[in-house]
Amino acid sequence: MTLETIVGMLAFGALTSLMIFFFTLVGSLPLGLLVSFGRMSKIAPIRWLVRFYISIMRGTPLILQLFVVYFGPFLLFGLQMGQDYRITATLIAFILNYAAYFGEIYRSGIESIPRGQHEAAAVLGYTRSQTFIRIIFPQVLKRIIPPMTNEIITLVKDTALAFTLGVAEMFTQARAIVSSQGNLIAFLIAGIFYYAFNALVAFIMERVEKAFAYYHE
């Protein structure tokens, strides 16, 4: 197998990894905000339910959650989901898992804002939604960017777990090539990809953090 062939196969796997990464962020970031609201809800059953969900997502391995989401429909309800369900199950598990972590990051940011800002906004005639969108959330974003960056970098590496469901992402392709060729070139190229992608993510998040630097405390 030539180097060009190896790179081509890994490039196909990289596109799948990027797809998992992108759709996980698109799904988990807004869902995480809803989770944070549920976690802070004044309605006790909602608060308890969300706390239980977060506890399960953070207390069990992501690889186990992948298996539960993939095999659950058949083992619990006898549903045959088909081969295409592999990528769907992967995205569902990733989104649910990362929404729990993002939810706690959002919550910590929201609760770090002094209560006096809410009261001052109310005096000025702001509604609760206006207060959150215009005053609270921009400050929350600034505070949560560093932990968010850590989670997003972890997500880049966690995409490799999709191999457990037979999804042909980059690590799956690299492992298959190494097994057939008997050398580590594919792993080396995959490692460079993950490293470069994480470096890009870190750079982008650093720029975002600087964009919010006008919120000095």
Q: What predicted TM-score, i.e. pTM, was given to this entire model?
A: 0.90
How do the domains of the chain map onto residue ranges? 3-211
Asked if 13 and 174 count as a contact pair (C-beta separation under 8 A), the reply is: yes
Give residue-wise pLDDT tens across range 99-143: 999 999 999 998 888 878 877 877 777 887 888 888 888 888 888
> Which whole number is the average pLDDT over 133-155?
89
> Which whole number is the average pLDDT over 74-83?
85
pLDDT value for 182: 82
CATH H superfamily, domain 3-211: MetI-like (1.10.3720.10)
Residue 212 predicted with pLDDT over 80: no
pLDDT value for 214: 60
> How confident is the prediction for the chain on average, in pLDDT?
90
> Which whole number is the average pLDDT over 159-188?
91
Give residue-wise pLDDT tens across range 13-42: 999 999 999 999 999 999 999 999 999 999
- Among candidate residues 145, 148, 158, 153, the one with its CA nearest the CA of residue 20: 158
pLDDT value for 103: 96
Residue 188 predicted with pLDDT over 90: yes
Give residue-wise pLDDT tens across range 40-63: 999 999 999 999 999 999 999 999
- Among candidate residues 21, 97, 91, 90, the one with its CA nearest the CA of residue 60: 97
| Pairwise CA distance, residues 179 & 171, whole Å | 12
pLDDT value for 201: 94
